[in-house]
């Protein structure tokens, strides 16, 4: 079977971009009435022509999400295990060249983090590392998963891309889901943003979701970093990626996120700014395009944005987040991957969600189902 890379390698970025910007109001109306929206329909939904249709898109997104997921928001919490990184991504606070203190938590420190997170009533944890196999490789990550397994119903990962065999090890250890962000789908400029390190291999990273599905992943996550290249074109390529995966690996569940760039160590400034209205348009376009997709919103976004989107298409939120290794159990200056925009704790977040008539789900599934 052809890989996703094989299906897009000959596509021209600028031609795709032009096709998005050429969509008309008629194209948007056709997309909103489509029973099974196509990639062309999705282009219309993220195009400038859709800016006058945001209200009907919001209503559709709300109705679809409530039918599919009910009036619930799932809470998860990130646990950063290590900020060691061999990559040189020019936009990231963990960049190998940035002069920050490097930390990799040991077993005792991981258990201290777990203790604090459990006191927050959290049962759904996302383990994250920088990409440095020597300091935080497969053995280290597998051990961290085993330390977490007795305490959490759901263990998710956001770590460096691995082989099918390595993913199989991690799923056997208790991992439920893995999230991998391509950052940008624009291959011609990918090397500029990722000049050195493991992440510099565009095709290898792009095919990670396929290796995950082949290894038997319960859920696989996608993402593109908003701020590098034209966001509308990024979202179309990501929609193509999602459609490829749902067609060829239909047993796996899928999730998407749209992280907008936030200030971080190194001071990189985004090339592209996505407004709040455009961010909303993207969420609603994805919900209409794929009714089953899970959509998360992190603490990169403001309080107001997270408040407003409880009922408008998302399915999960992080709460009480720390983006530095050891951040939950230590009180000292944070070595953050990015600066948090919404620092409310889980109690405040739950009160906000429940005030809108929604229930909070602290775990994804029961351990007996794993």
Higher per-residue pLDDT: 270 or 255: 255
Identify the H or E element spanning 360: strand 359-361
The pLDDT of residue 366: 46
pTM for the structure as a whole: 0.92
Please say if the pLDDT value at position 101 is more than 90: no
Q: What is the chain's mean pLDDT, rounded? A: 90
Mean local confidence (pLDDT), 282-310: 93
> 160-173, pLDDT tens digit by residue?
999 999 999 999 99
| Architecture of the structural domain at 4-365 | Alpha-Beta Barrel (3.20)
Of the listed ranges 28-42, 273-287, 332-346, the least confidently predicted one is 332-346
The pLDDT of residue 109: 96
The terminus-to-terminus CA distance of the chain in angstroms comes to 29
Please say if the pLDDT value at position 312 is more than 50: yes
Please say if the pLDDT value at position 336 is more than 60: no
Please say if the pLDDT value at position 270 is more than 90: no
Please say if the pLDDT value at position 7 is more than 80: yes
Distance separating alpha carbons of residues 209 and 106, to the nearest angstrom: 29
Q: At 359, phi and psi to the nearest 5?
A: -95, 150
Please say if the pLDDT value at position 315 is more than 60: yes
For the residues of 154-216, what is the DSSP string, one character each? EEEEE-----HHHHHHHHHHT--EEE---B---HHHHHHH--SSGGG-HHHHHTHHHHHHHTT
Distance separating alpha carbons of residues 124 and 146, to the nearest angstrom: 15
Confidence of residue 368 (pLDDT cuts 50, 70, 90): very low
The pLDDT of residue 104: 92
Q: Where exactly are the structural domains of the chain?
A: 4-365
> 174-205, pLDDT tens digit by residue?
999 999 999 999 999 999 998 887 888 999 99
> 121-149, pLDDT tens digit by residue?
999 999 999 777 777 899 999 999 999 99
Which of 355, 370, 369, 367 is closest to 73 using CA atoms? Answer: 355
The pLDDT of residue 289: 98
């Amino acid at each position: 079977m052809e890989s996703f890379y094989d299906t897009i390698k000959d596509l021209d970025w600028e031609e795709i971009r032009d096709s998005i910007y050429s969509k008309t109001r008629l194209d948007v109306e056709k997309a909103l009435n489509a029973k099974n929206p196509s990639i062309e329909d999705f282009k219309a939904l993220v195009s400038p022509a859709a800016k006058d249709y945001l209200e009907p898109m919001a209503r559709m997104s709300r109705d679809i999400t409530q039918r599919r997921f009910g009036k619930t928001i799932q809470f998860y919490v990130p646990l950063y295990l290590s900020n060691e990184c061999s990559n040189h991504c020019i936009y990231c606070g963990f960049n190998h060249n940035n002069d920050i203190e490097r930390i990799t938590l040991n077993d005792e420190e991981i258990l201290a983090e777990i203790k604090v997170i459990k006191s927050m009533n959290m049962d759904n944890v996302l383990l994250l590392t920088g990409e440095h196999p020597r300091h935080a490789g497969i053995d280290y990550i597998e051990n961290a998963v085993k330390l977490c397994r007795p305490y959490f119903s759901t263990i998710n990962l956001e770590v460096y891309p691995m082989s099918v065999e390595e993913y199989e090890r991690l799923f056997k250890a208790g991992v439920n889901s893995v999230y991998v962000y391509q950052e940008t789908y624009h291959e011609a400029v990918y090397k500029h943003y990722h000049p050195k390190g493991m992440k510099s291999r565009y095709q290898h990273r792009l095919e990670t979701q396929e290796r995950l599905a082949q290894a038997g992943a319960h859920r696989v996550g996608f993402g593109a970093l908003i701020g590098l290249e034209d966001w509308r074109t990024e979202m179309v390529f990501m929609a193509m990626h999602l459609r490829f995966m749902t067609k060829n690996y239909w047993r796996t569940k899928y999730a998407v996120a749209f992280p907008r760039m936030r200030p971080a160590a190194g001071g990189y400034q985004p090339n592209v700014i996505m407004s709040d209205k455009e961010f909303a348009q993207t969420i609603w376009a994805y919900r209409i395009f794929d009714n089953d997709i899970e959509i998360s919103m992190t603490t990169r976004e403001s309080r107001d944005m997270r408040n407003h989107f409880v009922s408008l298409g998302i399915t999960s939120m992080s709460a009480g987040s720390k983006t530095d290794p050891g951040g939950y159990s230590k009180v000292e200056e944070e070595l953050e991957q990015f600066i948090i925009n919404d620092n409310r704790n889980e109690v405040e977040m739950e009160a906000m969600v429940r005030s809108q008539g929604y229930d909070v789900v602290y775990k994804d599934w029961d351990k007996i189902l794993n």
